[in-house]
Amino acid sequence: MKTMRRTHLLLLIIPLLISTSRTLNCHDDDYEHQSHSSNLKIFHVFSPCSPYRPSRPPLSWENALLRIQDEDKARLLYLSSLAVAGKSVVPIASGRQIIQTPTYIVRANVGPPPQPMLVALDIGNDVSWLPCAGCVGCSSSVTFDSSMSTSFRSVDCQAPQCRQAPNPSCNGGGACEFNMTYGGSAINANLSQDTVTLSKDPIPNYTFGCIGKAPGTSLPPQGLLGFGRGPLSLMSQTQDLYKATFSYCLPNFRSENFSGSLRLGPVGQPVRIKTTPLLKNPKRSSLYYVNLVGIRVGSKVLDIPASAFAFDPVTGAGTVFDSGTVFTRLVEPAYVAVRNEFRRRNKNSNVTSLGGFDTCYSGPIVAPTITFMFAGMNVTLPQDNFLIRSTAGSTTCLAMAAAPNNVNSVLNVIASMQQQNHRVLVDGSNNRLGVARELCT
């Protein structure tokens, strides 16, 4: 019943067109057999290969957008909450259930014998977790059964990892438990270790949360891999293997055959790629900050006060790349400048709004490119990365919005729609982030 309800909620997020032709072979082609083995597929949650894909025709385009925008709000609150040192306590915007967008998923095997899980990829989060067998409140019927694994163990509360976990405590048996909030969801988990295999690389003794309780909540159903920058993240735990380096290409959620790739480690990464320095903000140390210095619409550099982009270690302000937010959010003066220039170029058409999008048109529009100017790297986005089009009607919206006007949310977030069909490289050993156009469909 619970699973049913989840499926229905997911149905509401369905972006646009999910084609009926499902010709993909989803099971025997998860890894690219190339010169290196640490390449794995990334699926959009609505990919033909995803168990979360809708089994019924989607609701209207408008509803889908409204739903995604709601989820983005929860995500922004979550990112903001990371500023509260050591805790992630999140004010919940509304009383209803919010699914924290598990927009992109990858396959992972846990144990031997391998238990396959489809986990969300989250670059804004450190600690990973799986719903464990017997979990009270978890929505997934697929859970990780630790009693079946020969390499599973729980982490002792004296272990250094326990102190790195959010809100750790010691249970009666001397094992480490932790609590955290993700989106609007509370998680109570045992800190555990097991072998996690991504692609072909086994990661022994990988530390993650085995969720025992997730009361009344909704989370990525089969768990999450944290690719953030903190000590418990996957990249920190695999420092020797992957050198804090990974890249991904997110497929467009409109394409019928959407799978992108996640490439772990320095081998096989693009060498000719524009990069910008990665900044570490102590206020939100999990997040990948970069220095956004300006925005260009077409060839016009917009007049935006520098304060809109300022990196501030005290308040946590700045610009981050995130995989869990769908639409880019810019602080108000920056968004207004982009929007006004966009509207100026379409002044002969009537502006309408749709959900949280305030710059929509019916009928053809003049669409310039949009360039994010980072320190040392300009990224020019083609239309597919910032226009969202109705397939049924003819409405087109500028798919970005102003960041909520709340003191805690002083973040510009470069979100997944704006990253689609680009390779985003996080080169942790050289402290830089790269972006290159790549069609991963």
Q: Using the rule CB under 6 A, which residue among 174, 363, 376, 393 binds ligand NAG?
A: 376
The answer to the question of residue 148 lying near ligand NAG (CB under 6 A) is no
Nearer to ligand NAG, 136 or 392 (CB): 136
Site string for ligand NAG, 286-305 (x = CB under 6 A): ----------x----x----
The answer to the question of residue 378 lying near ligand NAG (CB under 6 A) is yes
- For tokens 């953030």, name the residue: 228
Contact 88, 181 (CB under 8 A): yes
Contact 130, 209 (CB under 8 A): yes
User: Which listed residue (72, 126, 194, 322) is catalytic?
Assistant: 322
CB-count burial class (<10 Å; 0-12, 13-18, 19+) for 7: middle
Is 322 labeled as catalytic in the residue annotation? yes
According to CB under 6 A, which residues from 201 to 230 bind ligand NAG? Answer: 204-205, 212-213
Contact stretch for ligand NAG (CB under 6 A) within 60-68, 77-85, 112-120, 174-182:
174-182
The answer to the question of residue 350 lying near ligand NAG (CB under 6 A) is no
Which residue type does 168 have? P
Question: 80 phi and psi, to 5 degrees?
Answer: -65, -40
Q: Which residues of 73-100 are buried (b: 16+ CB within 10 A; e: fewer)?
A: bbbbbbbbbbbeeeebebeeeeeebbbb
The answer to the question of residue 105 lying near ligand NAG (CB under 6 A) is no
The answer to the question of residue 188 lying near ligand NAG (CB under 6 A) is yes
Strands of the sheet containing 370-374, edge to edge, are 300-301, 292-297, 370-374, 377-381
Contact 413, 309 (CB under 8 A): no
Least Å distance, CB 21 to ligand NAG, is: 9
Size of the site for ligand NAG (CB under 6 A): 24
CB-count burial class (<10 Å; 0-12, 13-18, 19+) for 217: buried
3-state helix, strand, coil in the chain (%, to 5): 15, 35, 50
Residue nearest to ligand NAG (CB): 212
The answer to the question of residue 373 lying near ligand NAG (CB under 6 A) is yes
Nearer to ligand NAG, 276 or 419 (CB): 276
Contact 136, 213 (CB under 8 A): yes
Q: Using the rule CB under 6 A, which residue among 23, 55, 150, 348 binds ligand NAG?
A: 23
| Structure-block tokens of residue 174 | 């001397």
Nearer to ligand NAG, 243 or 402 (CB): 243
The answer to the question of residue 158 lying near ligand NAG (CB under 6 A) is no
Is 122 labeled as catalytic in the residue annotation? yes
E-strand stretches of 113-267 = 115-122, 129-136, 153-154, 168-170, 176-182, 185-198, 201-213, 224-226, 245-249, 259-264
Q: Using the rule CB under 6 A, which residue among 19, 60, 94, 171 binds ligand NAG?
A: 171
Distances (CA, A) of 393 to 19, 361, 368: 17, 11, 22
| Structure-block tokens of residue 186 | 């509370």
Site string for ligand NAG, 249-278 (x = CB under 6 A): --------x---------------------
The answer to the question of residue 24 lying near ligand NAG (CB under 6 A) is yes
Nearer to ligand NAG, 101 or 238 (CB): 238
Q: Using the rule CB under 6 A, which residue among 189, 244, 354, 381 binds ligand NAG?
A: 189
The answer to the question of residue 177 lying near ligand NAG (CB under 6 A) is yes
Which residues contribute to the site for ligand NAG (CB under 6 A)? 23-24, 167, 169, 171, 173, 175, 177, 179, 188-190, 204-205, 212-213, 257, 296, 301, 373, 376-378, 441
Give catalytic residues, as residue numbers.
Answer: 122, 322
